[in-house]
Every structure is written in structure tokens, then in C-alpha cells.
Amino acid sequence: MKWSYELTLQEFKLAFRLHSRQKLGRRIHWFIYDFVFPGITVLFLAFTAYLWMTGSEAMDDFIIYDIALVTMVVLIFTLRAFRIRSAFRALFPPGAKNRITSITFSDEEILTSVEGVGEGRYLWAGVSAFVENQAVALFYIGDERFLILPRRVLNPPEHADLAALVARHVETRKTC
């Protein structure tokens, strides 16, 4: 089975979102950065607004915390977006003729290639896990390394064939 596709930034983001949900530690990490820090910031801003409305002089002390928390939350989200875009750009060096990736599955191995850049060969014994959702399928070749296959390139019979191949060769399989 062979597919050629151009990975989009949106699919790359969806792959990282799926990756971040695979382990409890990653889930906790993203929960803290996505909900706890912004929640604390909103609470501090609300408390400062309350102090301002009541005319309390303690408001001056809380403005410093508000500025620090708002700055931190903005930086967290800005740096995350920057790091994801940088990682996406790093997939394809400047000398690449195009961004078309080819991936071939056989009973022995997985071959990936980007024309004019290079290729990779992974034996099924090196694939530690497989995870998929409606948008992307991830083939883990390390704890933090994975191959991305967009689900849009698969039609239902091809998906069934790929699922059978994965069932034969990969022990850890999840569908999210």
C-alpha cells in the first residue's frame, strides 16, 4: 500500500493534539497550561476589578500580579503556536522541491520519503504503538516520535487493509 500526500499545518496540529492525549502526564501538562493558568488569570482579574469597584487601595498591589499573569498566558499560547509552526517547517528543509510525502506499507516495513530530501525505513518491530482519530493516524517509532498519515488519503477499503496490517504487527493500538 502506497500513498502520497502533502501534510497541512492543520493536520500537523491535530496530530500533536492526538499525541498530547495519549499519556496521563501529557494530559495533565496540557490541562495546566490550557485551563489552570488562564483560570487563575481570570480570577485575579476579576478580583482586581472587584477591588477597583469597591475603591480599595489593595488594588495597586494586585495590578502587578495581573500584568504578570496575563503576560505569562499570552506568552504560553504564542510560544506554543510558534513552536508548532517551527516544527512543521522543520519537516521540510528549504531545499525541498515540494512537500509531497510518500509512505509505503508492506508486511516487512514502512518506507517514508520526501522527494529530493531523503527517506526513512522502519521495520514493524520498531513501531511501538498506533493511534488514530478521524483526522490522522500516528505510527509511534519512539516515545515522542511518530509518523503521521492523514486519514483523508485513505478510502474505506484501504483503511480496512491498513487496520489489518497494523493489527498483525503492532501490539498497542488505540482509536480516539
- Cβ-based neighbour number of residue 140 at 10 Å: 19
Q: Tell me, yes or no, if the pTM score tops 0.85.
A: no
Query: Which strands form 109-114's sheet, in the order they lie side by side?
Result: 2-6, 100-105, 109-114, 118-123
Residues 4-37 have pLDDT tens digits of 888 889 999 999 999 988 888 888 988 888 889 8
Question: What would be the CATH architecture of the domain defined by 2-8+96-175?
Answer: Roll (2.30)
